[in-house]
Chain A
Amino acid sequence: DQQVKQNSPSLSVQEGRISILNCDYTNSMFDYFLWYKKYPAEGPTFLISISSIKDKNEDGRFTVFLNKSAKHLSLHIVPSQPGDSAVYFCAARVINTGTASKLTFGTGTRLQVTL
């Protein structure tokens, strides 16, 4: 059961344009969402996150939007740069009262930014 879904395995965008990466989830208990970026032969690195009490979070060229009713979030990159070419993973956290909690990852979307 894939609780976090990234239905587009790949995306190609021209440099300077907007990249929109989408993510859907099924578990209504998720309370925190994160995007990770992964270059080949490296581990994922944290990019941006959003709490379920918000619908938007912005950090420079990166903005994450959350639509709780639709159980959908998206990552916008504006403007896209060649260095943004990587695999992007959406991840979600289940509400947990412990000191740390499990992240559930999507399958990733490979973004290619072309010149």
Chain B
Amino acid sequence: NAGVMQNPRHLVRRRGQEARLRCSPMKGHSHVYWYRQLPEEGLKFMVYLQKENIIDESGMPKERFSAEFPKEGPSILRIQQVVRGDSAAYFCASSPGTGDYGYTFGSGTRLTVV
């Protein structure tokens, strides 16, 4: 079991480009969570998804950010027209289901906007 796989590990984008971050949950996990960690800050919740459904996106910025978890394939966090302030570490976690907080985290994607 490879655990939660995130790619790429590092991503560099110029201002105005799009960033796509991928997360493959652990085998058997149907719940995916995205967190963002800005420098000197804790992990901040962004969005919680199940297959083909967004359950809670209360932590997502209203513009430029979107997330999906299709029936087939990894979950994608998409950031359009990136700005310097989007530079951060983005972590994905998965769990088997509601009520189990035994999240398994991925290694994260470090996004740098230049």
Are A and B a genuine interacting pair, yes or no?
no
